[in-house]
Amino acid sequence: MEPLIGAAARRSGLVLSGRREFLKAVGLTGVSWLTPVSHLLAAQAEGSREPARSIILIWLAGGPSQLETFDPKPGTAIAGGSKARKTAVKDVQLADGFEQLADLMREISLVRSLVSKEGDHERGTYLMKTGYRPDPTVEHPSIGAVCCHELSAGGTGIPRHVSILPAQWPARGGYLGGEYDAFQIGDPAGKLPDVTPAVDAARNDARLADLDVVERAFARGRARSVEATLHGETLRRARVMMTSEQLKAFDVSREPKSVRDEYGNTPLGRACLAARRLTEVGVRCIEVNFGGWDSHVKNHEIHRGLVKELDPALSALIRDLRRRNLLDKTVVVCGGEFGRTPKINPLGGRDHWPNGFSMALAGGGIARGRVIGETDPEGLKAPTTPATIADIHATVLTAVGLNPQKENIVPVTGRPLKASEGKVIPGLLV
């Protein structure tokens, strides 16, 4: 270990005689030697910034085209006639249709050089949500599950991992356990399901008392087996949730009409508004699902319609978080499982393209107004400064104060796995 410490110290401009002096110099005394020094140096370099406390993932299911969203190439052959618009950041353009988001570009950073080894929807979604490629020997947890597992619950009495609007492959707890699966709801305009007793309060209390008698009788002589099912803990959490005042966070009708109109009178707009409300009561990760981006046919037409809904919803979310001093406490991530081919197919569509696509990030710990990486305007060469999906995970985990290299032990196999095998993307964090 000494040679590693010495090298790290020299790179940091420190000349130290031993590892204890090294740890004192960087303020890390008491840290386990199992913690990688390189990560600690990176964390130290980020300064004393308070970590974000929540993540909002705007999930563009189906694979949006980078050329019609965050990486337009107007006037080139691969644009296929798509146009772009200037933004508040000089020389940075977004696709035509992002009128509101363009004005907010100083709050946003773009990673335009994402590369993936998965070009299938299900496998690509798994990789994007977990940071790992599918593996038949283990089910990896999504980034929201990791955050809820590692970060304290605080005073939150409702699920801290939430998925809004139906999704084919919602975020899961993986080997961390089903209790970390995302709590799924539909359009926030509807009533929250399964949280209101079907009978009056007195009768409901009587039913619960009767249930308690039955369960205590059943547990006699088999307490360990009963505890292993987590049935009691699940019931306790459900009862806490059903009586929590924090359930009101799901009810977007409590917002002024002017705020609701700002987000847009759409399921996506209401979902983004609910996401903002949920961050205020301590929910750690909210996944907002917005599908329909699988544009093998009529790519331009499909993207125009979807961008028309995405632009006001995402823009209002960023503005609203900023107004309420929540933007620095919330990491906002917007993207899908891969991009779209530079070449337009005979049906006017673009096919799957994991070889250079885009993602937008904003909020807690994310640098503002930056563009990471560049794709080839002819669509032939690999992107410059490529970043992997695992790198996105490492960056976001670091932004919320977690060590992406921390290992958890997978049950049954006893295999140690890191939260992420990626590295923090240089220049993306402040």
What's the pLDDT tens digit per position in 363-416?
Answer: 999 999 999 999 999 999 999 999 999 999 999 999 999 999 999 999 989 999
Give the model's pLDDT for residue 334: 98
- For residue 350, what pLDDT is reported? 98
CA dist., res. 319 & res. 316, Å (int) = 5
Range(s) within the chain of domains with CATH label 3.40.720.10: 46-192+251-418
pLDDT, position 33: 30
CA separation for the pair 295, 161 (Å, rounded): 30
3-class SS of residue 286: strand
DSSP conformational letter for 192: P
Which amino acid appears at position 190 of this protein? G
Q: What pLDDT sits at residue 257? A: 97
Residue 133's nearest CA partner among 332, 372, 417 is 417
Q: Could you confirm whether domain 46-192+251-418 is CATH 3.40.720.10? A: yes
Low-confidence ranges of the chain (pLDDT < 70): 1-48, 193-195, 197-198, 226-243
Separation between Cα atoms, residue 289 and residue 168, nearest integer Å = 10
Could you tell me if 381 and 119 are in contact, meaning their C-beta atoms sit under 8 angstroms apart? no
pLDDT of residue 188: 96
What was the pLDDT predicted at 216?
77
Q: How far apart are CA 228 and CA 140, in angstroms?
A: 21
Instruction: Name the percent of the chain lying above pLDDT 90.
Output: 73
**335 close to 360: Cβ distance less than 8 angstroms:** yes
pTM: 0.84
pLDDT of residue 37: 39
Closest alpha carbon to 375 in 113, 93, 84: 113
Q: pLDDT value at position 229?
A: 64
Residues 6+ apart with CB under 8 A from 11: 41
